[in-house]
Structure 1
């Protein structure tokens, strides 16, 4: 196991158990206790955990949700986020839209992921600001206060200059016939610009968004690469999307 993989494992285990033991980690990872102590010291220096006698605990004042946002269907969104982790790798240039599904996803990202991430979502930007190896670019503009995202020409100008590997896009409504649609015209324009700036487009949404439509079209389903939902990928309600060539996770 590489050093970065080992440290990601340590952080994930700490998130699950809230306290980790040097001895136990050494046994689980088949390395010396000194190696684990060095890992814990380095992670402590980066502010990712608090090293204590015999192991480590979470950093007490590190907020998990900066804005205390109420997230509906959080367990389903965590399931979606865990599926989408397979699409991440070091070195990517990523665009992330707003929405609580993407916010949950941002909290599940490997703590030592090395990537460049653009977002116009203030809550997601604040969450990602805690990751030491992510080059974070917050796209400023007119703030849409209810969703805490920026919109307008300033956002479009930045997006027009980006060439991203992958875009993780939240969804308001989607149907096989109407494609991806939005309630607000300005948001639909921003999402179109995200599509144009990205090599690969990944939609992230819970099943209640399926087979619904809103007034402003973003794109048809042929423009999409991947859909990540809380459903089984073989569920029959996703058949039309599969036939259109969309990968389902």
Structure 2
């Protein structure tokens, strides 16, 4: 199947993530023993609609990507991304944040924060088409496609770092696995798995988000993405994203 993406009048070929890239983070070990090495998802990185847009994006040290995750199962588990953390910005005590938008389908964003190697907070956010989800500083994240539809999502992120995958591999995955049917199972390979908190998406107007507008349009108001490189100036935003006032019941699949 041709997975070329047309964006800005150009044909973009994806990077791919195969099952063999994720063997360490799969729940269903028995299934994994005989599973074929299939492509699980497609990543289209560093996109821009025009030369002018690219210049603006580069000048602000940002990157715009699209990821496509077809529906599927990893044995008894829903298909997901590998999971990663971001590095600390200097000696600020804060890692680089990120923001996602669901363009099509449904996504479960599974966030977790560590303190001195121990997981101290785990959050699940269900997002639908048009929803935005901010990954706050110091949180690692996995994206799960829990539906029978293709998930297409975009992200804005700083271009000044490389993602860190090793903590997820070392732990055998995230603090929880989402099995078919929506059952959340604690990862016994992790030292600690706090109870899950279920939060709403981050559809926050103050940073330029609108339900009916794709966030690529922020290239025309790119200062609103300043938190991606300077998170220390946006404590109010992290407080709002993680607030218990955004709690919801567990998603119904």
Fold conserved between structures, TM > 0.5: no
TM-score under structure 1 normalisation? 0.25
Higher helix share: 1
| Bigger Cα Rg | 1
TM-score, normalised via structure 2 length: 0.25
Which structure features the higher share of strand residues? 2
